[in-house]
Amino acid sequence: MKCAKLVEGEIKIIETEVPKLTSKGAIIKVIGCGLCGSDLVKIKHAKLNPDTEVVLGHEVVGEIVQIDSQCDFKVGDIVALGHHYPCFECEYCKNESYSMCRTFKRSNIYPAGFCEYIRVDENHLKYTVYKMNKDLTYDEMAFLEPLSCCIRAVRRAGFKYGEDNSKYSSLVIGLGSIGYLMTKALSAFKVSAYGFDLMPERARLANFNLNKKYDCVFLTAGSSRAIESALKYVIDGGKIIVFSSVENDLKGFNNNDIYYRELSVIASYSPAPCDIKLSADFLNSKKINVEGLSKYYPLDNLALAVDDSFNNKTYKAYIKI
Q: Least Å distance between CB 38 and Zn ion?
A: 5
Nearer to Zn ion, 97 or 207 (CB): 97
Nearer to Zn ion, 11 or 35 (CB): 35
Residues forming a β-bridge with 296: 318
Q: Least Å distance between CB 61 and Zn ion?
A: 13
User: Which residues are CB-contacts of 242 (< 8 A; sequence separation ≥ 6)?
Assistant: 219, 265, 266, 267, 268
Nearer to Zn ion, 144 or 186 (CB): 144
Site for Zn ion (CB under 5 A): which residue of 36, 173, 290, 319? 36
Nearer to Zn ion, 205 or 276 (CB): 276
Nearer to Zn ion, 86 or 238 (CB): 86
Q: Does 87 bind Zn ion (CB under 5 A)?
A: yes
Residues forming a β-bridge with 3: 14, 115
Q: Does 178 bind Zn ion (CB under 5 A)?
A: no
Q: Least Å distance between CB 311 and Zn ion?
A: 20
Q: Does 90 bind Zn ion (CB under 5 A)?
A: yes
Q: Are 190 and 163 in contact (CB under 8 A)?
A: yes
Site string for Zn ion, 135-174 (x = CB under 5 A): -----------x----------------------------
Q: Least Å distance between CB 204 and Zn ion?
A: 24
Number of residues that bind Zn ion (CB under 5 A): 7
Q: Which amino acid is at 21?
A: L
Q: Between the CA of residue 48 and those of 41, 43, 52, what are the distances in Å? A: 11, 9, 10
Q: Does 86 bind Zn ion (CB under 5 A)?
A: yes
Q: Are 287 and 273 in contact (CB under 8 A)?
A: no
> Which span (16-24, 98-106, 223-231, 263-271) binds Zn ion, by CB under 5 A?
98-106
**Alpha-carbon torsion 182, 34, 304, 119, what sign?**
positive
DSSP 168-214: -EEEEE--SHHHHHHHHHHHHTT-EEEEE-SSHHHHTTS---TT--E
Cα–Cα distance measured from residue 304 to residue 300, given in angstroms and rounded to the nearest whole number: 9
Contacting residues toward Zn ion, per CB under 5 A? 36, 86-87, 90, 93, 101, 146
